[in-house]
């Protein structure tokens, strides 16, 4: 059983890496929020009453950029939530253990995808809808 879990030193290393990613993503999201706030203040193309007072293409571009910013924020928020769940799994001792087969997920996978809950073979089986052998 001890062979399918990471030791405390490894878990601490993973925790630091995940926390660094969360901090970096929070900084990115702050920048996106700032951009969205700047674009919504003093820009005539954003006011409902003045949409027709600017060029239609400019209003479309502004709308597209806002929508893209909101989509990016949603995606980043989801990823941060997954990373926070990974931090909870570190605390509970379940980090790096496949939720399907119970085997230790390789370190390389956990460093690349720290929010992973399945080993590669179980994840591939899920995608192909195959039972684990």
pLDDT the model gives residue 21: 96
Q: Where are the domains of the chain?
A: 2-94
How would you write the pLDDT of the chain (133 residues) with one tens digit per residue?
A: 447 899 999 999 999 999 999 999 999 888 888 877 776 654 444 445 455 556 778 777 878 888 888 899 999 999 999 999 999 999 998 999 999 999 999 999 999 999 999 999 998 888 887 555 5
Q: Give one DSSP letter per residue of 110-124, joined into a string.
A: HHH-TT--S-HHHHH
pLDDT the model gives residue 126: 83
pLDDT the model gives residue 95: 95
Distance CA 75, CA 79 (A): 6
pLDDT the model gives residue 45: 43
The pTM assigned to this predicted structure is: 0.75
CB-hemisphere CA count at 13 Å for 61? 6
pLDDT the model gives residue 39: 61
Q: Give one DSSP letter per residue of 48-115, joined into a string.
A: GGGGGGS-HHHHHHHHHHHHHHHHHHHHHHHHHHHHHHHHHHHHHT-TTB-TTT-PBPPHHHHHH-TT
pLDDT the model gives residue 52: 53
Backbone Cα Rg of the chain: 21
């Amino acid at each position: 059983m001890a062979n399918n879990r990471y030791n405390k030193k490894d878990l601490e290393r993973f925790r630091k890496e995940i926390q660094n990613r969360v901090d970096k993503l929070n900084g990115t999201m702050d920048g996106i929020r700032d951009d969205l706030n700047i674009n919504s203040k003093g820009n005539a193309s954003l006011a409902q009453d003045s949409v027709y007072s600017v060029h239609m293409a400019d209003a479309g571009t502004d709308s597209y950029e806002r929508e893209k910013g909101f989509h990016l924020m949603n995606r980043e928020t989801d990823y941060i939530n997954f990373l926070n769940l990974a931090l909870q799994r570190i605390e509970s001792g379940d980090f790096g253990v496949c939720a399907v087969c119970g085997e230790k997920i390789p370190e390389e996978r956990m460093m690349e995808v720290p929010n992973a809950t399945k080993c590669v073979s179980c994840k591939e089986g899920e995608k192909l809808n195959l039972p684990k052998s």
